[in-house]
Amino acid sequence: MPTRSQEDKNFILSNLEETYYIENFISKEDIETLCMEYYGNINKVYKNTGPITSDIKYYDSPVLDKIIEKIYKLYPNSKVMSGMFFEVKQPHIIHNDDKHSLPKTYKAFNIPLEYDTKEEPHLCFFDQVYLDGPSKFFNGEKNIETYYNTIVYDYDNVVGKSPNPIDPIMKEKYLSHLEDKWLQGLSFNSAHAWRPGNAIVFDCVRLHCASNFVGKKLGLSIFTEYR
């Protein structure tokens, strides 16, 4: 298994910034077009872990082209590393959005497209980052099923671990689907509402997860590397 050089790790760490969102990143018409394109596309992967995904490489979409152009204007040194539509009926657990080839992973853009849930969902972030490839985080567990990400059962290599437990109010509000032991060493950073048309911008290596929800969500994620 390849390892990321310390020089590249230092570079990624030096480019970390606070997670933020951009209101009305795409229009209502763009949302409708993307949803139509996704539901009409046959190139979907039905993952054993639950999500349905569809790689953006299968889409010849002026709307996607426009989104990528916006990303390049915001981050001129970025290059699209990968991207996908994702449809989920259960909340994502703690993960990062790195790549096995270990490039100079850079910024991610999460664009909510629609949701049908009892309460407004959120995308939740932790202060910690992980620099050793695409991973999901299940501290203290074993034999967890996976599709692409490596499963991390101890947090020795998580960067910036916290000695303090997650605030129980935040845990109950956003993270009730997660075991307490999975959160050991992590500290809550922020929660961003899942509002169609907005873009949530974050570092690919930052640990994050969905808030708990019952229902369905559809979103678009585009991940970049530094060029």
DSSP string, 70-91: HHHHH-TTEEEEEEEEEEESS-
- pLDDT tens-digit readout, 163-196: 999 999 999 999 999 999 999 999 999 999 999 9
Question: What does the alpha-carbon distance between residue 83 and residue 68 come to, in Å, rounded to a whole number?
Answer: 10
- pLDDT tens-digit readout, 6-43: 999 999 999 999 999 999 999 999 999 999 999 999 99
Please give the pLDDT value at position 1.
63
Give mean pLDDT, residues 195-222.
Answer: 97
pLDDT at 218 over 70: yes
pLDDT at 2 over 80: no
Q: Determine contact, residues 134/98, Cβ cutoff 8 Å.
A: yes
> What DSSP string runs through 120-154?
--EEEEEEEE--SSSEEE-TT------SSSEEESS
Question: What does the alpha-carbon distance between residue 21 and residue 87 come to, in Å, rounded to a whole number?
Answer: 21
Place of tokens 């002026």: 62
Q: Can you give the length of the chain in residues? A: 227
Q: Determine contact, residues 209/94, Cβ cutoff 8 Å.
A: yes
Q: What is the pTM of this model?
A: 0.96
| Residue of higher predicted confidence among 147 and 2 | 147
Question: What does the alpha-carbon distance between residue 148 and residue 181 come to, in Å, rounded to a whole number?
Answer: 23
